[in-house]
Chains A and B, each alone.
Chain A
Amino acid sequence: MKQGPDAAGHFGEFGGRYVAETLMPALLELERAYRAASADPAFWEEFNAVLRDYVGRPSPLYFARRLTGAYGGAKLYLKREDLNHTGAHKINNTIGQALLARRMGKTKLMAETGAGQHGVAAATAAALFGMECVVYMGEEDIRRQAPNVQRMRFLGARVQPVSSGTATLKDAMSEAMRAWVSRVDDTFYVIGTVAGPHPYPAMVRDFQSVIGREAREQALKQAGRLPDLVLACVGGGSNAAGMFFPFLDDASVRLVGVEAAGYGIATGKHAASIGGGQVGILHGSKSYVLQDGDGQVLNAHSISAGLDYPGVGPEHALWARTGRVKYVSITDAEALEAFEDLTRLEGIIPALESSHAVAEAKKLAVTLPEDGLIAICLSGRGDKDLDNILAYKAKESRA
């Protein structure tokens, strides 16, 4: 199962490099550079040292006793990516890509961001390594995620507002790709998820796989066994890819990816690309895409800005196709309920993204025996979401 993509970046029929010719030489150069770095033990030594000393890894695998009691079934373990420096898993990837950029002699970083978590993580890596950084962010997300915008600015990044389309992550990524075309000589584009053209999906997965490698070892050490079930939320899919990848060959471990159902798949207002989309080509790769009958990309909806994206990484598309990973979806309301459960019962305020995975655990815990074990990737912390949740609740109570 743990097969990388083929030489041209295909995961089965998915993936590839669907970009303008102007970008192709840069992608080929990036692929060569990543392949060389990947084969160099010194690169990984430095990566691991920064993750340990700066990010604070390994993150704990925490047994959530009270949540387990409330959900009434299998033991629930949380992989605490929320405890990473900057508060989410995104930093694992930006450290990796910034190190690669430095190795390639690039001095400028650029990134797209939805919730702002990846933007903050990219700005943080840029500050750490003394690089310039520009972050493309939709105006709607700038409004929804004001604290992260300020954080990026304090870190020295320039936040470039994007007003096209729905002014969210999809449009920020389109604008970042446009900008990259004109800066391709000296700028490294730090993509925040396992989407985009080859080699990004494989590279980001590799940098994020530290999550699953640690979780696997920790489960064996702490519980004496592998989990029965591993859960992670899926927008573009980077925390899920990193969590799942090291478990792919463990046939006894069920893997479940949780997409955002928004108001419900049937309403059309959702972000479940696998559950409610079709195969298509967006932002450089072939995967599942939310689109209309004429191949125009639709706007996604999720209460969680980080899942509010109409595409998904191509390797997830392959895992869905082969059945190795099962993809389900959770509504805004279910995610909020899980957010409140975890906050009250464990004193952990989860990101709305991660709350989707917790909500699926609430459904599945009772289907397993009490000695069963579920590992949930708690991909980030929820402080950034408080304004957004209050606004949602105010709207609901008026309705």
Chain B
Amino acid sequence: MNRITLMFEAAKKERRKTLVGFLTAGDPGMAVSERNMLAALESGVDLLEIGVPFSDPTADGPAIQAAGARALGAGATLGGIIGMAGRLRAASDAPMILFSYANPLFHRGYERVADEAAAAGVDGFLAVDLPFEEASEFRALLAARSLFFIPLVAPTTPEPRMREILSDAGGFVYYIMVKGVTGLRAEAAPDMKEHIEALRRCTKLPIAAGFGVGNGVQARAVAAHADAVVVGSALVEAARQGRLESLVRELSGALRG
């Protein structure tokens, strides 16, 4: 069984919510980035999203934009990042997915990327700008290798469309809590609860909610409704400031407490 499913099943038995952590691969360079990813896993991240930097990150706010620019400036490549994922896999059994924009995947070739990721022990992909309608080829290639293509659902997604997106999805669902780009927000999304309830009507998959979460208090509020909380920009910033492990411990503790 896929590591993603195993992790969520185990957490459910333990009656705890889980922490999905995003870090931009290659920020500020490959070696430091790899150490940060390992440290995040060792400090309490349950599922790691390995962010593939892209030159034109149209869905990202300032923190992840800047991290991507640093990573590309330091020479990060998709091939190098898949290699890093393989080394992380040798050190950890935690589920890992690659989080990318479509073009780096398309340019390298969907089939080649699926093969390489499977060989490296990656468990799935999340492609920000590859909506349901454009994803069928890549989804089929991943499915043939028992990798998940993680669907994204937004607050703008109507329920009939949710059903379509989730019809043959696996792993978990990523619920984007706000209409906007990635990045920290002071206020929680007011309509999160009703949207997550609508999602529950459409799928039995675990629901991870993200966008805007930066501390333990916010994480706990989201975890009241979702199965997992996704934290990205805040981890990227914490890593830059040398306080990644303490933030991960705070978030992880808030979800267990």
Interface residues of chain A, those whose CB is within 8 Å of chain B, are 8, 16-26, 164-165, 170-171, 174, 177-178, 181-182, 184-185, 278, 280-284, 286, 289, 291, 294-298
Contact = CB atoms under 8 A, between A and B. Distances in A.
Question: Most chain-B Cβ atoms within 10 A of its Cβ — which of A171, A181, A182, A296?
Answer: A296
Given A184-B156, A289-B103, A294-B107, A17 B131 contact: yes
A162 B189 CA distance: 27
19 contacts: A8-B134, A17-B134, A18-B129, A19-B131, A20-B152, A25-B158, A25-B161, A170-B56, A171-B56, A178-B60, A178-B61, A181-B181, A184-B179, A280-B103, A280-B106, A280-B107, A282-B56, A284-B129, A296-B55
A164 B55 contact: no
B85 interface: no
Give the one of A21, A24, A26, A282 with max B CB within 10 A. Answer: A21
Contacts of B99: none
Contacts of B165: 21
B130 A18 contact: yes
Given A278-B107, A294-B107, A20 B128 contact: yes
Taking chain A's interface residues, is the majority helix, strand, or loop, or is none over half, making it mixed? mixed
Shortest 10 CB-CB contacts between residues of A and residues of B = A295-B107, A22-B154, A182-B180, A295-B104, A296-B55, A177-B58, A297-B55, A281-B103, A21-B152, A20-B59
Interface residues of B, number: 43
A185 B69 CA distance: 30
Given A282-B103, A295-B104, A24 B55 contact: no
B198 to A, nearest CB: 14
B153 interface: yes
A193 to B, nearest CB: 16
Contact of B56 (A16, A286, A297): A297
A395 to B, nearest CB: 27
A297 B103 contact: yes
A283 B156 contact: no
Most buried by B among A8, A23, A171, A283: A23
A184 B153 CA distance: 15
B103 A178 contact: no
Contact of A295 (B59, B103, B156, B178): B103
Contacts of A184: 156, 179
A317 to B, nearest CB: 14
Contact of B157 (A18, A24, A164): A24
Contacts of A19: 58, 129, 131
A297 B128 CA distance: 16
Given A17-B131, A24-B133, A184-B156, 9 more contacts: A20-B129, A21-B131, A21-B165, A25-B157, A178-B59, A182-B179, A280-B103, A295-B104, A295-B105
Interface string B146-174: 00000011111110010001000000000
A23 to B, nearest CB: 8
Contacts of B102: 18, 281
A265 B78 CA distance: 27
Contact of B181 (A170, A178, A283, A289): A178
A164 B69 CA distance: 10
Interface string B171-210: 0000010111100000000000000000000000000000
A22 B176 contact: yes
A164 B63 CA distance: 12
B138 to A, nearest CB: 12
Contacts of B77: 294
A22 B58 CA distance: 12
Nearest to B102: A281
Contacts of A283: 56, 58
A174 B107 contact: no
Interface in B12-29: none
Nearest to B61: A178
A196 to B, nearest CB: 11
Given A21-B154, A165-B55, A296 B104 contact: yes
A337 to B, nearest CB: 33
A37 B75 CA distance: 48
B207 to A, nearest CB: 14
A22 B179 contact: yes
A20 B132 CA distance: 10
A203 B22 CA distance: 37
Interface in B31-69: 54-61, 65, 69
A291 B107 contact: yes
Interface in B88-106: 101-106
Contacts of B56: 165, 170-171, 174, 282-283, 297
Nearest to A10: B134
B156 A174 contact: no
A24 B131 contact: yes
Contacts of B179: 22, 181-182, 184-185
Nearest to A298: B55
B145 interface: no
Nearest to A291: B107
Given A20-B59, A26-B156, A296-B54, A8 B133 contact: yes
Interface string B62-87: 00010001001000011100000000
